[in-house]
Structure 1
Amino acid sequence: MNRSIVHMDLDTFFVSCERRNNSKLNGIPLIIGGGDRGVVASCSYEARKFGVRSAMPIRMALRLCPDAKVIRGDHELYSNLSHTVTEIIQERVPVMEKASIDEFYLDLSGMDKFFGCYQWTKEIASAVTKEAGLPISFALSANKTVSKIGTGESKPVGRLEIKDLDIRPFLNPLSIKKIPMVGDKTFQLLSRIGIRTIHTLSEMPVLVLQQMIGVNGKELWKKANGIDENPVVPYSERKSISTERTFTNDTMDVVELKRLISGMAEQLAYQLRQEKWLTSTVVVKIRYANFDTETKQCKVSYTSADHTLSRVALELFNKAYTRRMRLRLVGLRFTGLVHGNHQMNLFEDTEQQMNLYQTMDYLKNRFGMGALGRASGFDFEK
């Protein structure tokens, strides 16, 4: 059976959410981001015409587009609207995967005989716009890679169907940057030997690509040829991630307890980034030697940054640990998760902080979780 895979993407999601609630923002250059030293989380098409892009420092964005209006952003609004769109889509399709806060894959394979996959997808997109008040683009094709590239090419408010015979003609003239797994380093490497279009990449010998970029060479070649067997994974919301430590001997060593909590925060934040989650709630749990248990929690702006989560966790520990009594257990939990692309808190973090986390995660991925970390999380007496 031929596959029918749809990729749906909410257009300039954060910007659209703000405009939904304030029509005065329509038609003007708009930047969503975190203050003077922060970076651009999202920007309108009007701002993009001046060269403004996501993850660009706010100061640089305003130099390019001085008339742009900057809004700090409403994290709760974006999360609630994402949930609304998820429900609208999920109740209308047999299989849906939520790829990020504003991206979805649908598997409509076999549905043509009932209604027509393209017509069905158009009606879903119309329902999103009508019920949630948000613009959405989509592309329908044989697999996830082609449909995702198609959505990008069809924006804004795009409606595109790429049939099997049209896949290669559609992909061939496009830049290799359009392939989801091609980052800046891979693009630069391939560009140096003259590979800049998908057509040229598709004709490269697989073994040569594997020698150049490693094990991903074959997968990259397949995507350039419009081949992608990856399934649409049914969506299920993960509620929280957590860790806790029960001591062999009860303790009231506050310095050691804070070191442990700081290390827990770093470990869980790294896990969030690896699994592409952002958290909105931090929960600290302590259990005294007499088994009395205390928990404290705090709402935060969506983030996966160690320095933010560690600070909040330590503040909650100070509020929870009020008795001069030994502890037998401490625990840390992040909840209120949203599944998003690998990103730091674009509303709060500076460009330097984002680069630091990317470097730290690279080193941890290569050498292991214990390869490096914050000084507050290490026990130097061991």
Structure 2
Amino acid sequence: MFIHLDLDCFFASCERFRNPSLIGKRVVVGGRGDPFIFDPKPAQAKKLVTLNSGAFVPSLFHADHDAGNYFKDGNTIRGIVTTASYEARAYGVKTGMSIHQALKLCPDLILIPPDHLLYHTLSHQLMEYLATVVPVMEQYSIDEMFGDLRGWVEEEDTESFIKNLQQQITKEFKLPVSIGASSSKWIAKLATSAAKPYGTRVVHQHQIESFVNPIPIDDFPGVGKAFSAKMNRYGIKTIGDAWKSDILFHSWGHAGKELYARLTGTDNESIHPSRSRKGIGMSRSMDHPVKERSELFRRIHVMVRHWSHTIMKLGVNPTTYSFSLGYERWESSKKQYTVYRLFNESFLQNFAIEKFKELDLYPHLPVCFIAMSATKFIHHDPKTFNILEYENDSKMRSLTDAVTKMREKYGLDIMRGGGEL
């Protein structure tokens, strides 16, 4: 059997772990996308953590916030809800909602700025513990894990095993968790959803069809907007409807066949103990759109410095870079480039600024969104580096290595480029 663990209201639970007086109260952990990164004053309290990943969890963040002012921008309340306790959810507060709207629904919410270092650390400690009691574990996100019990726990003992595991996690970490189990990892994930909050659910193979039959197709993990729209056109509203449409799914090629196998619990997909990271991205939305291009490119310089530091710390060499700008009137501009260069910060700064200038198709419009990402690492797609640039890139790489070590020791703002001034 496969098991799936989902830490209930994880960020809020972590805050309760640190401050038990929050237990039973209407708590929201919110975020603002780190607008503080562009502050011209150097900041010491920045951290880079690469232990985990997941929704709303950046690898680079400020470690300390002024809780009283974090959500305030003058007289305006900023930010979105990243986690709401069940007590807050009872008022209609939910993930992705603006803090402003959440306060309208529940004026006495306890608002807490994010402490991602705490969340990363507790998640990592939990994974280390789970590795001692389950032979094969997969970190799916910062608050979700898969485990493989085959050959370790007999199927008839699965229910007692996961209930005991749930109790042990609560005892050791003070973190509420829901656990689902089934012969398919994706059905196990659905079982966890059915078990929430703080429950357990085992779905045996002969029970899968009746269990998934009424579940809306959009609730199945991995069903994106495109597939959802396609299925809706054929009247497929539930997973039960999908089970009856095998010929249709098989006509959609490999992706359709793969999805059908997952929906029916016949995918035989295994647990992946470690996942190779496929990309490193960074983006920022601006509370106040930026009109002056000198300020826009100063901010791009700042973001590239942080982005470069993350790439260096993860020890990868990207070959494909994507850049995008979002404008105030919903216009956007984006493009992708492939270059085979030995990675270094000097190259990335020059390359990014050049490409963002080309991307700025609407120079009269204020910019409200900047994004950049790096993919196709050289160890995934081996190619020869640009030989004409290799000697200089090697020198710049050595310099970048030295700067990375300095920033690790003294803070990310200890050395900044002239373009940020």
For normalisation by structure 2, the TM-score amounts to 0.58
Per-residue CA distance 1:27-57 (angstroms, 9 max, x = gap): 2222111233322211111222333222223
Kindly, what percent of the aligned residue pairs are identical?
33
The equivalences for 1:93-132 within 5 A come to: 93-113=134-154, 116-132=157-173
User: Which amino acid letter does the alignment assign opposite residue 120 of structure 1?
Assistant: F
The change in CA–CA distance for 1:89 and 1:192 in structure 2 (over 3 A counts) is: same
Q: Does the C-alpha gap of structure 1 residues 130 and 257 become closer, same or farther in structure 2, counting only changes over 3 Å?
A: closer
2:4 corresponds to which letter in structure 1?
A: H
How far is 1:111 from its partner? 2.3
Q: For the Cα contact (< 8 Å) 1:88–1:127, is it kept in 2?
A: no
Partner of 1:258: 349
Q: Verify the 8 A CA contact 2:5 2:192 in the aligned structure 1.
A: yes
What is the CA-CA distance between 1:181 and the residue it aligns to?
Answer: 1.4
Task: Provide the aligned length of Structure 1 versus Structure 2.
Answer: 285
Structure 1 SS opposite 2:261: helix
Structure-2 change in CA distance of 1:221 and 1:99 (3 Å): same
Structure 1 residues 318 and 67: alpha-carbon distance in aligned structure 2, compared to 1, 3 A threshold: same
Cα distance, 1:154 vs structure 2 = 0.4
Matched, 1:209 2:269: no
Whether 1:67 and 2:128 are equivalent positions in the alignment is: no
The answer for the alignment partner of 2:271 in structure 1 is 232
**3-state secondary structure, aligned to 2:242:** helix
Distance 2:397 2:162 in 1: 58
Q: Structure 1 regions of 5+ residues with no counterpart? A: 248-253, 273-284, 300-311, 322-375, 377-382
RMSD (CA atoms)? 3.8
Cα offset, 1:286, TM superposition: 9.2
Distance 2:130 2:199 in 1: 17
Please give the secondary structure, in 2, of the residue aligned with 1:28: coil
Aligned to 2:34: none
Q: CA deviation at 1:293?
A: 6.8
The SS at the match of 2:316 is: strand
1:145-171 CA-to-partner distances (Å, cap 9, x unmatched) read 110000011011111111111111111
Distance 2:413 2:119 in 1: 28
CA positional deviation for 1:104:
1.0
Residue matched to 2:21 = 24
Query: 1:242 is matched with which residue?
Result: 316
Q: How does 1:310-325 map to 2 (within 5 A)?
A: 316-318=415-417
Q: For the residues of structure 1 that align with 2:398 and 2:89, how far apart are their CA atoms?
A: 60
**Kept after mapping to 2: 8 A contact 1:175/1:196:** yes
Residues 298, 62 of structure 1: alpha-carbon distance in 2 compared, 3 angstrom cutoff: farther
Code of the aligned partner of 1:124:
L
TM-score by length of 1: 0.64
Q: Distance in 1 between matches of 2:79 and 2:256?
A: 36
Q: Is the 8 A contact 1:179 1:223 kept in 2?
A: no
* Equivalent of residue 169 in structure 1, options 210, 235, 248: 210
65-74 or 180-189, which moves further after superposition?
180-189
CA distance in 1, matches of 2:222, 2:150: 25
- What secondary structure sits across from 1:233 in the alignment? coil
For the Cα contact (< 8 Å) 1:29–1:69, is it kept in 2?
A: yes
